[in-house]
Amino acid sequence: MELSANAKINLTLDILRKREDGYHDLQMVMQAVTLADTLTVVPARGVEGQALSDLHFLPTGGKNLAQVAAAAFRQATGLGGEVDVSIQKHVPVCAGLAGGSADAAAVLSAMNRLTGAGLSPTELAKIGEQVGSDVPFCVLGGTALAESRGEVLTPLAPLPPCHIVICKPPFSISTPQLFGRVKVKKIVRRPDTAGVIAALEAGDLTGVARRMYNVFEDVLEPRRLSEINSIKAALIDCGALGASMSGSGPSVFGLFDQKNRAQEALERLTKGYRGVFLCGPAGPR
Ligand code: ATP
């Protein structure tokens, strides 16, 4: 069975409070995009399932999120055997684009079909919670408000058709370190989440793009922030209606209403970066 595993971007990312359990309550408008890995899921040839990809540094056994998801499915339903998963990675790793979570969600969906379990997307998303906090969103796809740790989802009106340029600078940012640096009461700038939701309902792409923001941008190290800002500036200069960092970074994206402008941004950023992609919004899975 062949499936695509769509990445996500954060149109907004806000941190509301630190909880007593050490986690943070988040509020994020998430959007699935057509940038995707391709997975093939088949019954395992050996005793234990493998997860093979074209990236040599990813785990190949039970630690690959694709296999973690398969195990979570078997545990929750009592159905299905070991599976071999082949992954063609197109989504950059450790990029704030939930590539691993997308692979996990695709495997949950494959297992659901292969076993005939017939679970609803909401039931599959619930199983996904144990695998990672972005997995439930990746199961549902489309456009959604994600709250709590990201697993409490409310579907939203779709992002109007547009062109999305994503650029991943060649460094990674530690998510725990970023959370460690956030002082919730000191956050000065926040995204206009309610405004973004209203603009989605009105089908107003410019209104969405102008209100996007990610509070993690406030706590980046100065040299990282300056690189993120220079990518944002290049996107805006090429005609993006708005630009922001996705998740815990470092990927930056811009929303365009005109394909030729997006193409120009792609070409310009490709001169300085290897991980540059032109894609669009993806609907629910
Ligand atoms: P998020 O946006 O959810 O924070 P991310 O884009 O920062 O995700 P991912 O690429 O989803 O990060 O995951 C990165 C980590 O997960 C790496 O440590 C990687 O080794 C591990 N991993 C396990 N399985 C996979 C997979 N199938 N694809 C990508 N990474 C995987």
- The closest-lying atom of ligand 1 relative to the alpha carbon of residue 87 is 27
99 C-beta closer than 6 A to ligand 1:
yes
Measured over the CA atoms of residue 187, residue 189, residue 194 and residue 196, the dihedral's sign is negative
pTM of the predicted model as reported, rounded to 2 decimal places: 0.96
- The closest-lying atom of ligand 1 relative to the alpha carbon of residue 66 is 27
96 C-beta closer than 6 A to ligand 1:
yes
- 145-158 pLDDT tens trace: 999 999 999 999 99
- Burial 209-232, CB ≥16 within 10 A → b, else e: bbbbbbbbbbbbeeebeebbeebb
Task: Indicate the pLDDT class of residue 34, thresholds 50, 70 and 90.
Answer: very high
Position 185 scores a pLDDT of: 87
- Owner of token pair 């695998």: 131
Q: What are the residues whose beta carbons fall under 8 Å from the beta carbon of 139, sequence distance 6 or more?
A: 105, 108, 109, 121, 124, 125, 128, 285
Question: Cα of 13 to ligand 1 centre, how many Å?
Answer: 19
Write down the mean pLDDT value for the chain: 96
pLDDT higher than 90, residue 1: no
- The closest-lying atom of ligand 1 relative to the alpha carbon of residue 134 is 3
∠ CA(54), CA(55), CA(56), 5° rounding? 110
249 C-beta closer than 6 A to ligand 1:
no
Please, are residues 145 and 247 in contact by the beta-carbon 8 Å criterion? no
DSSP string for 22-66: S-EEEEEEEEEEEEEEEEEEEE-SSSS--EEES-TTS--STTSHH
Positions annotated as catalytic residues are 8, 134
Structure token pair of residue 221? 């190290």
- Owner of token pair 């009106």: 157
Position 233 scores a pLDDT of: 98
C-alpha dist (Å) from residue 217 to 13, 192, 198, 209, 212: 10, 15, 24, 16, 12
Tell me how long the chain is. 285
- 172-223 pLDDT tens trace: 999 999 999 999 988 989 999 999 999 999 999 999 999 999 999 999 999 9
Residue of 26, 87, 93, 171 to mutate, ligand 1, most atoms within 8 A of C-beta: 93
Question: Cα of 238 to ligand 1 centre, how many Å?
Answer: 30
Mean predicted confidence (pLDDT) in 9-15: 98
105 C-beta closer than 6 A to ligand 1:
no
What Rg do the C-alpha atoms of the chain give, in angstroms?
18
* Residue owning the nearest CA to atom 30 of ligand 1: 100
Position 285 scores a pLDDT of: 87
- 43-97 pLDDT tens trace: 999 999 999 999 999 999 999 999 999 999 999 999 999 999 999 999 999 999 9
Closest C-alpha to 253, from 222, 285, 212: 212
Residue of 65, 90, 166 to mutate, ligand 1, most atoms within 8 A of C-beta: 65
How many whole angstroms separate alpha carbon 37 and alpha carbon 223? 30
- 116-156 pLDDT tens trace: 999 999 999 999 999 999 999 999 999 999 999 999 999 99
pLDDT higher than 90, residue 260: yes
